[in-house]
A and B are shown apart, each in its own frame.
Chain A
């Protein structure tokens, strides 16, 4: 601990007097096109300690050719006439330049409702989720969140009416919110200026630019303007500079936002977007895009423009660290992780020692603790490749197949249901998963088979809960969540409140599942052009849009409608498309990553959204690329992960990384999942658990074969287990989520419950065997430590344990109490 402290103190001294190394202007080159086109510039200084700071306000600015553009403080240019100029920033002795070209300075951009009015509605917060952009709108007035659907907005504004969630019919009388005869009396103007009471308060003044824009628009007859056809370039992306910034407390950073349009041109949108911080305690952001760092931590700044959202990462960092250690990179995972840590002034923990590594990697790859002998061997081995060898051995072990079958049975929801007690079916599905794991089948193939959902094959069993095929919307949303890591569910009933998912997209995707039928356990699609002459099969079945009541045909999320033969299974097209999308590989690697680190690069692992950005975007992209390039090979992905230095860091924190929980600077302790913990209790104590399908008067209806592990229960829902329920075994009736949060029931069970009490004695228990063999106390402590914690007890620990035991008087009773303590300890109950 002491050397670190010195290091930090030394760092503080360096902090006081950084030496300027270089200066740059951002953007360094830009074209301003169109009348009054503007651009914000930043001056970024790099210091000797590696810090990069926004010095826009301190720098002196100079324009080489003031005739073509006007500068306003500190560094904003507005186009006057066509031409070129150089913009220079000076700070001390340092100089940096940007070259600027001005074109089309006399060309007025044509009016566009979506762009001009949509921008005001977005910028002024009118269409925020808490206001008119909410699911049902506010005060009867509904706008699409973030002006995503300008056509709809135009209609609600110019035709009036009250939106209803469940029908496309308009409630009540339609009174336009613009008054073409008396433009000044339009609701769209009197409400936001509070000339009439407005629940949302005052949004802009009568003498504001926004007011004048809206008034002028209404005076012109409130046109939709340049119809968003092929002609009008669409905003396709927002780019933020800097995408990730590390700054000390109280520092400021101005963000630059560039809009990229479908015709390839870009515009500075810094002043046309809304900024919000995900965590204002860490860093706040002003309406003009200036971030202020408040306290140590990490957050994102969300940036919204009409129809688009982007985000920028902000780390508020401690003092720089002199002589920051050179961290070796073991594979491609380490570079993005360690370079971010260095940028954030966090030193990663040392590499885990052998015992730590072995326990963690055994639990993560096989859900199984290494037995004491294996631990001894591994600790004693001097083979420099022993870690890689053990990883290969684990990946090739039967326990690996057991464990990952269990994991995917969770994710893929192998479950039986009260109404369709058909374990035969669910077991076929379980066997399909197991076979895929056993043969390491490419994940995209697995996904395609499940998505296609047809025939007698076991993958189709998933679609038959209740012995019926589920509603198309539910089934589709689950597939998207599992394979795309995205939650479309909200869009089932309404456009998604914060995402670019519309209700139309939802039902277009659902339509791929809308003609599924079953006969016995065979799933097929009813041909659209044939009468099966069966009273059970309605050949005319159609999926109707819940709001418009119009028939819906299959459409991919990007709007494409694949050409489908009348007797084709439309999901084959869907499966091909989904597994080829970048989302697919990203979601897969993120889900697996989450299981090895206790958190996803996007967390929760199946909640990718623009407002929930990844902590390490390059890492996510690199993992996805590698996964894709190697045939979606799950085993290879897992090996890559565990062979990274990042994975192999110790859990023991240092002074700089103690608070970090998102940047992988040390291994995060994670509670063992219920099934793994129960198996570990059994393994350490040597007292097996019995799983029964019913508990009636002490007699059981059915029992799993003796010695069955919790991870090997094919239909866990059938088996009662107070332990598994208390420790959060998920109900597979819905997509499982495990919280691992402690609760009172766990505490009671640990102190008095059968799972713990029954583990303390027994004929063939580890304790009984050791006693029978005449093992001395120290040997018994050592065996149990190796079995439970994969480490030897320290000399102090052994001495103290011996002391307590001696004082206890009753040796056997004392040893049982020691076993209880060991299996009740946090070090045992967690993976670290």
Chain B
């Protein structure tokens, strides 16, 4: 439905001063007040694309070819592939009884990112979009970022979008920061555009648009003016550009995270939440997927677990050193686990029935394991956790009412924490230490 802007809206939006910075002061990113119940103010999703084998990582079993090793928390073991993480188990909580839906990558990615199965009748908002909508931006920094974007295909990226919540809550998808020519588009004016050019552009625009705008007062025009003012603010605020500038990090820090896509994406995620982003998906595994249908062990040993071990450890240490760990929730997960049995290609296939993930920071009770799987990791043995329960936990940590339902444009209620069998998920008390 269209709306007409009232005359007054139009006047305030239309009479922007130079660069639009003197009016619409309310756009000056008011520091969003967190509800008193909030423990954290931002989330980093360390996206383990393709689905790690749970029994070869977080939930070691006898049917894994890797040995379990002890951690710095008595009684908790992880796979020998994660030696650095084992030394930081006191900063992590593991859930070993995730039970989700979707047996191929699109289905499962959609399911864990939105909490809903793919439905051709409608598209669902992603968890990042919901958090962005509920919490609002901070410090004019893009609140929702996905790094790096997929090189091929838009399908997965679409699952991370806002659907009916609207473009304001779509993630900003940026290129791979580990590449030498990394540049975030649209966040800085090309060097060829001088201050004089900026002024002359806006003078020309005023003349070109005057006749049309004088007779046409729509809400869309007022919104576009507001966005333009906000855009100028971002373009002219060095802090925003700096948040994306890995050149501001020392070589030592870069190496600590790892110079590959996995490491640099997580480093960028840390810079962004530090600057004010709400939800950053660090998806550096695009080119190095956990989808080990063949040679599972080799893949996990040689190319997959080492970057996870290194980068997650670095991220936890770095957040901790900067005093950000308490307010930043870190989630390391993929879209499912992998089969406990080995296939003829020495690989492991998709397994949504039972898998594991790791949480840290953000007021989560760490140094513990929640839920368990059966002997070989086929099914949860205790404390089944659904996506809806995980989301409810995250929302609670962020001070968001997890019982909320949105109305889709056609009036279908959509639970923001959708658990199995269409129930509203409840926070996992064990993870909250309550």
Contacts and interface: CB of A to CB of B under 8 A. Distances in A.
Which 8 pairs of residues, A with B, have the shortest CB-CB distance? A821-B204, A489-B121, A743-B167, A747-B231, A827-B212, A747-B227, A821-B205, A742-B224
A615 B357 CA distance: 53
A817 B197 contact: yes
A418 B155 contact: yes
Contact of A697 (B118, B172, B181, B185): B181
B412 interface: yes
B72 interface: no
A774 interface: no
Nearest to A417: B155
A716 to B, nearest CB: 9
27 contacts: A417-B106, A418-B153, A418-B155, A487-B410, A489-B122, A492-B121, A498-B411, A651-B216, A658-B4, A659-B4, A669-B216, A701-B152, A722-B185, A739-B167, A741-B223, A743-B167, A744-B230, A746-B227, A747-B230, A752-B189, A804-B207, A818-B204, A821-B205, A825-B205, A825-B208, A825-B209, A826-B209
Nearest to A474: B120
Most buried by A among B119, B204, B411: B204
Nearest to B157: A725
A533 interface: no
Interface string A592-606: 000000010001100
Interface residues of A, number: 83
Interface string B198-219: 0011111101110111011010
Given A741-B167, A826-B221, A826-B224, A695 B187 contact: no
Contact of A695 (B151, B188, B208): B151
B321 interface: no
Contacts of B187: 748, 752
B421 A804 contact: no
Contact of A693 (B152, B172, B221): B152
Interface stretch (A16-24, A53-61, A79-87, A793-801): A793-801
Nearest to B224: A742
Interface stretch (A141-149, A393-401, A619-627, A727-735): A727-735
B166 interface: yes
A490 B155 contact: no
Nearest to A651: B216
A377 interface: no
B202 to A, nearest CB: 8
A633 B204 CA distance: 45
A669 B224 CA distance: 14
Nearest to A822: B208
Interface string A417-431: 111000000000000
Given A741-B166, A743-B167, A826-B216, A749 B197 contact: no
A527 interface: no
Contacts of B118: 733
Interface string A707-737: 0000000000110101001101001011101
Given A477-B121, A808-B196, A824-B205, A753 B212 contact: no
B104 interface: yes
Contacts of A693: 152
A440 to B, nearest CB: 30
B123 interface: yes
A821 B190 CA distance: 16
Nearest to B121: A489
A599 B2 CA distance: 9
Contacts, number: 198
B154 interface: yes
A797 B211 contact: yes
A778 interface: no
B228 A734 contact: no
Contact of B172 (A604, A745, A757): A745
A669 B218 contact: yes
A288 to B, nearest CB: 28
B186 interface: yes
Interface in B152-205: 152-156, 158, 166-168, 170, 172, 175, 179, 181, 185-190, 193, 196-197, 200-205
A751 B232 contact: yes
Interface string B29-41: 0000000000000
Contact of B204 (A599, A722, A817): A817
B204 A734 contact: no
A604 B1 CA distance: 9
B175 to A, nearest CB: 8
Nearest to A416: B153
Contacts of B197: 813, 817
Interface string B228-260: 101110110000000000000000000000000
B405 interface: no
Contacts of B4: 658-659, 661
Contact of B154 (A603, A717, A743): A717
B295 interface: no
B204 A743 contact: no
A759 to B, nearest CB: 13
B220 interface: yes
B186 A753 contact: yes
Most buried by A among B105, B181, B185: B185
A753 B190 CA distance: 9
A734 B120 contact: yes
